[in-house]
Chain A
Amino acid sequence: MINPLKKIGAQFLDWADTVGGLVVMMGRVFANAAPWKLDGPQVWRSLYRIGVNSFPIVVVTALLTGAIMVIQAGMFIQKYGAYGLLGWGAGYSILREVGPILIGLMFSGRVGANTTAELGTMKITDQVDALRALAIDPVRYLVVPRVISMVFMLLVLVIIGDFAALFGGAITGQLLLGVDWKLFVWSIIEYIKLEDFTHGLWKALVFGYSIGIISCYFGMRTSGGAMGVGRAVNASVVGSAIAIFVFDYFITYAMH
């Protein structure tokens, strides 16, 4: 009788500890994010490593995502013969939902896992303590540049990825479904509104921020050697994925 209660209680306390730690991390990042407190070279370096190095994989993902959504929409379109709606159907779902989610998941997998592994390795090799011994705030030196880079770069990557996905969709429509790409582009321009595009961009901002905070939190809290780094990366990507879906729902609900 006691055992299930003990397990549920322990789980809840563990979860509450994580949520509390994340909020504390958000507060510390916010306190250190004032422009005069930013470490220029670190931010620049993070922007390069996070953005430029993720560019190829995001573009490939986006091209394939566009192709997949066009194939799925195509099956319905062919049944009803509504070829003029292919651009709208695929474009609407890509810009609003599938684009930010899949690019966010790929970004969290690549950049989030990498950041947690990097910060986790620094933590267990005592480099973070060495920073503290030199009177440098680890959050200000390590975390803030990464969070800022992730927010900015995910936004840019989602913009690029949206266009890549629409491009991939147009090509797939032409080659596989026989829908002329001019019709596809016309359909997008005619039916898709700017607010569909910006809806996805708001999601990208929130996803970038949450991936940044979660990955840096689990990285700075690593303990226990190489296995600890693996555990931290696992927790970080799981947390980022949950955060992406939960925030996607709330943003969708709030912006209607």
Chain B
Amino acid sequence: MAAKTTQNPSVEVDEESPGAVQNFLAGLGGPIVALYATLRDMVRILGLTFYYIINGKWGARRRRDILLQMYEVGNRSIVFIAVTLGFLGMILIFQAGFQANRITGDLSLLGALFLQLLLREFAPTITAMMLATRVGTGMAAQLGSMVVTEQVDALRMSGAQPVDYLVVPRFVAALIMMVVLTVFAIIVSFIAGAITANAFYGVNPRTFVDFRMLTWFDLWIGLAKAVAYGIAVPITACQAGLSVVGGSEGVGLATTNAVVNASLAVIVLDFLISGIGYAILSIL
């Protein structure tokens, strides 16, 4: 099909409209290119964050920023984490107890196995997903509106580095608070599970609270997951916030991207760390 060029409208250029194969390749390649751009941006922000942690200006104002962010991330999520993980503990014990009753009738190992699964898998992952939704949207919305109202450009003009000034406090705060909230989540979920086991299946709390099956491996895996999520969630959220274009609609889009990217990062990291942990366990 002939088309007119924009430079010289009187000249007709022979140009074909994209066929099926080209459309298919474009459909396949477009998301991959966008994904690559996002990942590259995230790695850049991660690298800059580590650089500014080592080389940045550490003083009273940085400490105050970090404490403020730790309050924002940690203290204000306590009720939310307690409710969600309490209910999760109740659900898991209810299901597990029902099945154990039906199959073996022996509930003595319920608490020990539940604690192991909680420490290894559910507490870090579900806490991270909850924080990804709550804290991820908050950070992305804050940074996004700062970009849209040109405050980030003003920061750059005054010689402050946006990553240094905005991202580093949030990163440090989220990393510390993720570990703290994971521990809190384990406690709350285990207590909720103990109450459920006692109320529905008559399991004595003394039998339920059983640390026999915990090993160092479980603790290391749980800690590794919490640290990995604590790095991934603020970086993805800040990346989504700092790459906003286009007014309040862009801010809305950025918050959606933040939640989706952070949740996906949590699940991918969960799979990787579980797989690596399993491989290490079978080698040992």
> Quick one: given A71-B275, A72-B117, are A117 and B90 in contact (CB under 8 Å)?
no
Cα of A195 to Cα of B83 in the assembled complex, Å: 28
CB pair B256 A110 closer than 8 Å = yes
A157 within 8 A of B: no
Partner of A117, one of B91, B113, B256: B256
B187 within 8 A of A: no
Tell me the smallest distance from the CB of A225 to a CB of chain B, in Å.
7
CB-nearest residue of chain A relative to B218?
Answer: A75
CB-nearest residue of chain A relative to B271?
Answer: A64
A117 contacts which chain B residues (CB < 8 A)? 249, 251-253, 255-256
CB-nearest residue of chain A relative to B275?
Answer: A71
Cα of A104 to Cα of B8 in the assembled complex, Å: 54
- The interface bits of chain A over 56-69 (1 if a CB of B lies within 8 angstroms of the residue's CB, else 0) are 11001100110110
**Residues 209-254 (chain A) with a chain B CB within 8 angstroms:** 225-227, 229-231, 233-234, 237-238, 241-242, 245-246, 248-249, 252-253
- The interface bits of chain B over 67-96 (1 if a CB of A lies within 8 angstroms of the residue's CB, else 0) are 000000000000010011001101110110
CB pair B87 A246 closer than 8 Å = yes
CB pair A234 B137 closer than 8 Å = yes
CB pair B145 A227 closer than 8 Å = yes
B120 contacts which chain A residues (CB < 8 A)? 72
A109 within 8 A of B: yes
CB-nearest residue of chain A relative to B83?
Answer: A242
**Chain A residues with a Cβ closer than 8 Å to the other chain, count:** 53
> Quick one: given A124-B248, A226-B247, are A238 and B133 in contact (CB under 8 Å)?
yes
CB-nearest residue of chain B relative to A67?
Answer: B271
CB pair B260 A57 closer than 8 Å = yes
Cα of A97 to Cα of B255 in the assembled complex, Å: 27
A102 within 8 A of B: yes
Tell me the smallest distance from the CB of A227 to a CB of chain B, in Å.
5
A interface secondary structure, majority:
helix
CB pair B138 A234 closer than 8 Å = yes
CB pair B133 A75 closer than 8 Å = no
Tell me the smallest distance from the CB of B115 to a CB of chain A, in Å.
14
Query: Which of the segments B55-63, B160-168, B172-180, B262-270 contacts the partner chain?
Result: B262-270
CB pair A226 B95 closer than 8 Å = no
A105 within 8 A of B: yes
Tell me the smallest distance from the CB of B135 to a CB of chain A, in Å.
9
Cα of A68 to Cα of B248 in the assembled complex, Å: 37
CB-nearest residue of chain B relative to A111?
Answer: B256
Cα of A69 to Cα of B251 in the assembled complex, Å: 35
Tell me the smallest distance from the CB of B281 to a CB of chain A, in Å.
7
B243 within 8 A of A: no
What are 29 of the A-B contact pairs (CB < 8 Å)?
A: A57-B264, A61-B264, A68-B274, A72-B274, A74-B278, A75-B278, A106-B263, A113-B252, A117-B249, A117-B251, A117-B252, A121-B252, A226-B141, A226-B148, A226-B149, A226-B247, A229-B248, A229-B252, A230-B142, A234-B138, A237-B137, A241-B80, A241-B134, A242-B80, A245-B87, A248-B91, A252-B91, A256-B94, A256-B98
Q: Which B residues lie at the A interface, using CB under 8 A?
A: 31, 80, 83-84, 87-88, 90-92, 94-95, 98-99, 113, 117, 120-121, 129-130, 132-134, 137-138, 140-142, 144-145, 148-149, 247-249, 251-253, 255-256, 259-260, 263-264, 267-268, 270-271, 274-275, 278-279, 281-282
Further contacts, 7 of them, CB under 8 A, given A67-B271, A105-B129, A109-B133: A67-B275, A68-B274, A121-B248, A229-B248, A238-B133, A241-B84, A252-B94
